[in-house]
Structure formats: C-alpha cells, structure tokens
Amino acid sequence: MINGSVFKGLSRISLPECLADVKTPCYVIDEARLISNAEILSSVIERTGCKILLAQKAFSNYNFYPLLSPYLSGTEASGLYEARLGAEEMPGREVHVFCAAYRGDEFEELLKYADHIVFNSVNQLKRFGKTAKERGKSVGLRINPECSTQSDHEIYDPCAKGSRLGVTRDIWDRDMTDSLIGMLDGIHFHTLCEQNSDALEITLRAVEERFGDILPRMKWLNMGGGHHITKEDYNLPLLEKLINHAQEKWNLRVYLEPGEAVALNAGYLVSRVLDIVENGGIKIAILDASAACHMPDVIEMPYTPPLLDGYPPGIKEHSYRLAGPTCLAGDVIGDYSFDRELKTGDYLVFGDMAIYTTCKNNTFNGMPLPDIYRLGADGGFARLTDFGYGDFKIRLGSSE
C-alpha cells in the first residue's frame, strides 16, 4: 500500500466535512507533523551541539516559521529574497546564504539580512569576501569533494561530472592563497538528496581526504542538506556519530541545512476528478491538479507521489492513470489502482506535498495557484491564502 504513515495526520479531522467548502486544488500544511519533525531535529541539536537550519528552497511557508523557530537554529537562503524572508519571519535566528553567483547590485542589501555568506567560487570570494568580512559576516566557501553517492538523478547530484557547484581541490590548490584562506570562517559542502546517513559517511570521508588539512583552520563546517533525518528508517545514531567526529577532530561547529526533513510528510494536495477518458485500454482520470504546475518534482525527479487510498497499478481491481488538465502531454502524475471506480467529482489527496511544491508552483496555462490551508495540531482547519486571477496577472505585466 502506498500510504504508510504519510496520511496519519488526517485522522485528526473529518475529511469530507473539511473539504465541503474548499475550492480545489489546495495545499494543506499539517502542523502536528511539522512539530514532530522539528522535535527530531531539535533532539539532534541537543545531543550533539550542532546547528540545524531550515533550507527555505524546500519549504518557505512563513506562516509556520513561528512554530518552527523554537526548535531550529535559523534559516538557509539561496539569495536575497529568501534571506530577507528568513530575517523577517524568523527574527533572532541565524540567516545563512549560499548562491552559485551573487549579483553586484544586490550584495549590499543582502548583507543587511545575512549572518553567514557562502561563496561558490574563488572568483566570488575575491570579489565580495572582503566586503562581507568588513560588515562582520561569517564567510564560507563551498567545496566539491567529487564524491557522488547517488546514481538515479544526476540533475540533483552536485558532484556530477562538470558540476558548477563548489570548488574542487585542484582549483583550490591553483587559485587559493593564504590571504584568501585566512578570510574564511568555514567550509560548506552539499552533495546529498533525500539520503540516509551512510551516504554522509562516505561523503565526509572524501571531504576529510581532500580538505582535511584545511578544516582545522575553520570555525564551522556546513554539511548542507539532503539528509532525510525525519524519515522513519533514518540512522540517527550514525548521523550524530559523524557530527561529533567532525566537531571533535577539527574543533569546529557543524551545521546542517535540510529542507525536506523539516516538512517531510507534513502536507497534502487535495484535488478533484474533472473527467475520465480512455486510450488504448488505459483509463485516465483528469484532475484539477497539475503535476507540471502544482507538484513539479513529480516530473523533474521523477517520482510517483503517495495517494490516500491509492495503490500501485494492478494491485486493486480498478486502475487509472492520473493526469493534469494542462496542454502539456506529459502532465501525468502517475498510475494507481483503487478498490472502487473513480467518478467525476471524487476527491483525491496526495501526500508529502509540503516540500518543493508551494515554493515551486507556477501558473502555466493560466492554472490558478492552489490556496494553502493550515491543519492545526488541535484539528482546526483554516485557509491562509486567497489566490485568484490577480496573482496570475501581476506576474505578467503592470497592474496599472
């Protein structure tokens, strides 16, 4: 069965009753699951003394930042807007920024919000590092340990051949000077994607082999994201062993910046069946939710998202291909089977839809942005947004 514990949070509400007045598609963010994830992350902080940041690229629904703030050390941003969001919505917490290349016309403003600035290249360190240091910022450089621990999704592999991300050791040896190294407070690496701590162990060994002589000079080591810390089978003892090893051996502070671990299984996408068509013996249910617009990682990753009361194709009597309403032929969510026949108007609820959804969705074909609802830890259900035509139009021109 696809479901597992992904939909456990829905047991706190009467789903038909809550959906009676809801316009679909919509996202539902589960506060109880966010708290559960945050408690796990906070326990790692308490046991190791490391710091864990929210990577906003995965989850940037700031209405929930006050809920997360007591558990986390701060936020990680990929640029100016995320840095500002973290500073404004999680005040008093650290703001870290990494960008593949910073813009000269934005850097001064960025320094208003950021505490840590991580550069991707020696060139950028030379250009902006001195300014950042003069403003009292902690400066880091991203390295590339040239150690791939994944093979299925090269698009998510920062250590793939020809990657633009991070400084390899040969470039370090060629371009770094003592004065540039002296400018650094820390080293950053990010190589994982939804992986267990065994992959981190392999990566950390490669980091030590290639940059072990540099690390004793650093104040911190940021191990990036991609750590599936809140997944049920994640090996927490090994993670904590690796954190403690790094902190003790090199006398520095370890940072982690997961995004998916903070909001894993903490959201749902509710949709309805608009029509059912058939082609070549395949029944296709067309939904009001789009993979291309509302769950783009389904196509980019690709993967088949969990579905409430849905099973892999062929397991149950009635099999369907679920697809979106856009003109994109490949706007397909996946193949599933059900105990019953689907009918027009039926509700379908996809799981693990808090991460890489609301922050990546789009209005291709004029598709509306789904509204966002809060499922409170007490079972309360409230709408947080009111998206409409104006949100589509404002992105394309002047409102005057």
Token reading at 247 = 């902190």
User: Is a pLDDT exceeding 90 seen at residue 11?
Assistant: no
| Per-residue pLDDT, 274 | 98
Q: What is the mean pLDDT of the chain?
A: 95
Q: When comparing pLDDT for 135 and 152, which is higher?
A: 135
Q: Which CATH architecture has domain 49-263?
A: Alpha-Beta Barrel (3.20)
Lowest mean pLDDT among 16-20, 80-84, 231-235, 343-347: 16-20
What integer pLDDT is reported at residue 2 of this predicted model? Answer: 46
> What was the pLDDT predicted at 4?
59
**Intrachain domains 8-29+266-393 and 49-263 with the same fold:** no
What is the rounded CA–CA span in Å between residue 335 and residue 343? 16
CA dist 80 to 95, 108, 169, 248, 395, Å?
11, 10, 29, 34, 19
Long-range contacts of 79-85 (CB under 8 A, 24+ apart): 79/106, 79/110, 80/106, 80/109, 80/110, 80/113, 82/56, 82/57, 83/110, 83/113, 83/114, 84/113, 85/56, 85/60
pLDDT 10s digits, 265-297: 999 999 999 999 999 999 999 999 999 999 999
Residue 10's pLDDT is 85
| Residue 341 pLDDT exceeds 50 | yes
Phi, psi of 303 (to 5 degrees): -155, 165
Reported as a single tens digit per residue, the pLDDT across 51-110 is 999 999 999 999 999 999 999 999 999 999 999 999 999 999 999 999 999 999 999 999
pTM of the model: 0.95
The pLDDT, as a whole number, for residue 272 is: 97
Q: Label residue 400 by pLDDT band (50, 70, 90).
A: low
How confident is residue 16, by pLDDT bands cut at 50, 70 and 90?
A: confident
pLDDT in tens, 155-174: 889 989 999 999 999 999 99
Q: For the chain, which residues make up each domain, given as ranges?
A: 8-29+266-393, 49-263
- CATH class of the 8-29+266-393 domain in this structure: mainly beta
